[in-house]
Amino acid sequence: LYVVAGVAFAAAIAVFYIEHGGPVLSVLGLAAGLFLVFGAIADLWYRAGFGKVKAHVAWKRLTGLPRSAFGTALAHAGLGVSVIGIVAVSAFSTEHVLEMKPGETTEAGGYTLSFDGLRPAKGPNYSEERGHFTVRRGGAEVAETWSAKRLYAARQMPTTEAGILTFGASQLYVSLGDPTRDGGIVVRIWWKPFILLIWGGTLLMAVGGFVSLSDRRLRVGAPRRKAKPVKPVLEAAE
């Protein structure tokens, strides 16, 4: 059945490629990440004996496992979460570069962005043009953001301050480009799905490391000097 399962998985990838045109490797990457996450959970599950002994006995075994076991599980699960984030951003992120005028809309990541216009503003040592965007989903307003194009007077150095919106583990970036002759402005929009999983998985791996280090069995102390044996005092037979 292992061979049959492998053939079925290969056939499923082929169908996915025919219908969507790829990316096929993203399926393998997501499967690898999920395997790490579920494998970490399964390791604790089987070590505790769930499904083989009574639930209260398995729970007692689970809570009695050494901290290094939980640290290992957290580290492996964190690696899987990071892999899922990396694959999702690499395979499913989108980028749109277009000219927008006040009142125009565009789609990105399932959200509708409306450009409401530019407003001049001044900071301590710079002047800027701020673009306001309203984000809607299903016709309802869910967020708003500002994106700015700044000019520092001292060095005549222009910079761009992107507007960043977070939706769950995904992020939407909106950046302003150069103005156009007909009153519009170039807008760059990036949709990064599950990008926060990359950093969340890293933190999870770090937590797993600290949990493992808290296990007393893994602590390394300074070696003690071996005490010299006391020689018995031999009294004279006389």
Residue matched to tokens 């306001």 = 132
- Asked whether residue 237 is domain-assigned, the answer is no
| Whole-number Å distance between alpha carbons of 91 and 15 | 18
CA 110 to chain centre: 20
Please give the pLDDT value at position 206. 95
Domain span holding position 133:
94-192
Residues 134 and 85 in one domain: no
Residues 205 and 186 in one domain: no
Residues 12 and 78 in one domain: yes
Residues 87 and 142 in one domain: no
Tokens representing 189?
Answer: 């929009």
- Asked whether residue 223 is domain-assigned, the answer is no
- Asked whether residue 238 is domain-assigned, the answer is no
pLDDT digits (tens, 9 = 90+) for 105-137: 999 988 999 999 888 888 888 888 899 999 999
User: Residue 224, exposed/middle/buried by CB under 10 A (0-12, 13-18, 19+)?
Assistant: exposed
pLDDT for 203 beyond 90: yes
Band of pLDDT at residue 226, cut at 50, 70 and 90: low
Who has greater pLDDT, 75 or 158? 75
Query: What average pLDDT does this structure show over 148-167?
Result: 86
Residues 135 and 84 in one domain: no
Query: What average pLDDT does this structure show over 198-217?
Result: 90
Query: What average pLDDT does this structure show over 170-188?
Result: 89
Band of pLDDT at residue 9, cut at 50, 70 and 90: confident
**β-sheet bridge partners, residue 185:** 100, 179
Residues 125 and 68 in one domain: no
Q: Which amino acid is at 189?
A: I
Residues 101 and 66 in one domain: no
Residues 33 and 104 in one domain: no
Residues 124 and 185 in one domain: yes
Residues 39 and 79 in one domain: yes
Contact 114, 104 (CB under 8 A): yes
Please give the pLDDT value at position 221. 54
pLDDT for 237 beyond 60: no
- Asked whether residue 233 is domain-assigned, the answer is no
Residues 145 and 201 in one domain: no
Q: Which amino acid is at 88?
A: A
The proportion of the chain whose per-residue pLDDT surpasses 90, expressed as a percent, equals: 39
Contact 97, 188 (CB under 8 A): yes
Number of domains in the chain: 2
- Asked whether residue 121 is domain-assigned, the answer is yes
pLDDT digits (tens, 9 = 90+) for 82-113: 999 999 898 889 999 999 999 899 999 889 99
Contact 147, 172 (CB under 8 A): no
Residues 72 and 144 in one domain: no
Who has greater pLDDT, 235 or 49? 49
**How many Cα atoms sit within 13 Å of 15 on the Cβ side?**
6
- Asked whether residue 232 is domain-assigned, the answer is no
- Asked whether residue 227 is domain-assigned, the answer is no
Global confidence as pTM: 0.77
237 sits in which H/E element: none
Average pLDDT, the chain: 85
* Size of the chain in residues: 238
Give the number of other CB atoms < 10 A from CB of residue 74.
20
Band of pLDDT at residue 163, cut at 50, 70 and 90: very high
- Asked whether residue 235 is domain-assigned, the answer is no
| Whole-number Å distance between alpha carbons of 67 and 133 | 48
